[in-house]
Amino acid sequence: MYKNLKYILTAFIAAVALLPAKAQVTTESPYSAYGLGNLRTSVFPGLRGMGGISAGVFKPDGYSMINVVNPATYSGINLTTIDIGVNGGFTGLKRGNESESRFNATLNHIALGIPVSRKSAFSFGLLPYSDLGYNYSNRSRIDTMNVDYIYAGEGSISKAYFGYGVQFGKYVRIGANLEYLFGNLSQTRSALFPDEPAVLPSRMQNKISIDGLNFSYGIQTEIPLSEESRITLGYSGSFNSNISAKKSYVLTQYTVDGDGVENPPLDTLQIIDNAKTDLKLPLEHNFGFSVQRDNKWMVGADFRMGQWSKFSLDNSNQGLQDSYGVSVGGQITPDITAVGGSLAGYLKRIDYRLGVRYDKTYLKLANNDIKDRAISVGFGFPLPSNNRLSFYKVNFTTELGRRGTTAANLVQETYLNIHLGFTLNDTWFRRFKFD
């Protein structure tokens, strides 16, 4: 047990060090310039393979799982559970006749669940909340002068959480998460005058530092259909919390040498350093259901919505609108009890997953709603263990999607994301009795 605990603590410390430091490599999207950047779902790879359904999902197979979206599910953790995930993705950007592609990869999450009693458990972990990353330019005119505006942004917000879930009676579960959001978002806009060497370039830099608490909650109930089949109904949500934040603002002028290299700033025209400001998160809701035959198959759907029109950062909403989304998916396991070392037997124990997802995001640009659509395919590969009290699984999901549109000179993103997670169920902290 202590050897396993040493490994998990080492991994957790590594995740704490790596997650805040990854801001410059996780995303390159002009759409991340708005709001809090690209929002990252709390769905782990196993559920991502089913389109991200989560609010109404409870133990689709014999493994204990960590479902951060609905903390009511923690009550089903009956073995010490650890989930570690990484992801990577190829993104193609297209606007008019211009196109480019990028690849990014990062550690995604680390989470731990520990049973407290037969019907309750707590979970804690670290995962991303949002990412900011873009760099693009646009030419405009002021009077008779050409102006090249260069926009850039980088940063991330991470989420550390501690949650508890408990089951009441046979069919009702509730849970809650206390979440700590922290990170920095930095955005700059530079103005260069290519035809007017006497006019100095200028740069405006905004930085927001976030450091505060949020609260999320969930509930589930079951409708038994038989001893092996059931319907699960679920709801989860988060408060419209006010989070403390600080802002910094710097406006400078600088020069560029003959090789195009920037020199140190000549003058600081305006500066605001660590002034207090407000961040108000939106109220969010997730509704879901699933129908399953235990250890055989499951299908389900989620509907989610967020009141992003009520979002506020530094007393500005940035024109965000309410969002909503739908996910549909399921999985099938041909024969979880198949034995033997043959390939045919192993293929029967694999979880096969499929899902689709549609989101109308909180962005509306040039009178066009920015929509995100994706299809996902996933697999759960069970791994052998050296005893009957430990279970291991590798969850692999690939997601193909498209966000945005090329209408009105906007950018269309086509992406292929790969998510890889490792789930361990073990009997840590078990107290053995000897006669």
Mean pLDDT computed over 11-18: 48
Any idea which residue has 């955005």 for tokens?
Answer: 187
Where residue 388 falls among pLDDT bands split at 50, 70, 90?
Answer: low
Closest CA to 77 of 183, 165, 185: 165
Q: Return phi, psi of residue 343, to 5°.
A: -65, -40
Residue 18 has pLDDT above 90, yes or no: no
Q: What is the pLDDT of residue 314?
A: 84
Residue 339 is encoded by which pair of tokens?
């034995």
Q: Report whether pLDDT(98) > 70.
A: yes
Which residues contact residue 294 at a Cβ distance below 8 angstroms, ignoring those fewer than 6 apart? 228, 229, 230
d(CA 187, CA 133): 9
Q: How far apart are the first and last CA of the chain?
A: 22
Residue 100 pLDDT > 60: yes
pLDDT score of 132 more than 80: yes
Give all domains of the chain, ordered by start, each with its CATH number.
Answer: 26-330+399-426 (2.40.160.60)
What does the DSSP 8-state code read for residue 406? S
CA geometry: angle at 36 spanning 31 and 38, to 5°? 45
* Residues 6+ positions from 125 with CB-CB distance below 8 Å: 66, 68, 83, 109, 110, 111, 112, 160, 161
Provide the residue count of the chain. Answer: 435
Q: CA 36 to CA 432: how far, in whole Å? A: 49
Average pLDDT score over residue span 155-178: 96
What is residue 48's three-state secondary structure?
A: helix
- The predicted-structure confidence for 343-371, as pLDDT tens digits, reads as follows 888 899 999 999 999 999 999 999 999 99
256: pLDDT confidence band, cut at 50, 70 and 90? Answer: confident
Does residue 429 have a pLDDT over 70? no
pLDDT, the chain, mean: 87
Q: Kindly state the average pLDDT of the residues 39-44.
A: 92
pLDDT reading at 386 higher than 70: no
Q: What number is the average pLDDT over the span 104-131? A: 93
Percent of the residues in the chain that have a pLDDT greater than 70, as a whole number: 90
The listed range with the strongest mean pLDDT (30-34, 257-261, 412-416) is 412-416
For residues 430 and 81, the model is more confident at 81
Tell me which H or E stretch contains 105.
Answer: strand 98-117
CA distance 44 to 68: 8
| Closest to 44 (Cα-Cα) out of 338, 426, 393, 413 | 393
